Amino acid sequence: MALIGFDVAPDAQQNLVALYEERHSGSLGLTDEQKAEAVIADVMKDQLLGLKQRQAQATVDGSGTSISVAS
């Protein structure tokens, strides 16, 4: 099955659905496919936020010759 452009095996989709149900108290009438897509979207959002946070923590020393990034 394809979810948000990813091919996902049926057993993997069931794992995503279970993860969704652990994180959310109700299904709001969502299909299993929509629940799986919601989990994938949450993970992608978390990854993007983490990247933005690391970029925001990047600092340049006084000489301007080196850059350190907190990870």
**pLDDT tens per residue across span 13-32:** 888 889 888 888 776 789 88
Which residue is associated with the tokens 């091919």? 7
Pairing verdict, β 67-68 and 59-60 = antiparallel
Average pLDDT over residues 43-48: 88
Flag whether the pTM goes above 0.75. no
The pLDDT, as a whole number, for residue 33 is 87
Is 42:28 a contact under the CB 8 Å cutoff? no
Instruction: Give 7's strand partners.
Output: 2
The pLDDT, as a whole number, for residue 25 is 79
Is 13:33 a contact under the CB 8 Å cutoff? yes
- Residue 2 pLDDT > 70: no
Q: Output the six-digit token pair for 59.
A: 């600092």
Q: What is the dihedral of CA 53, 39, 5, 33, to 10 degrees?
A: -170
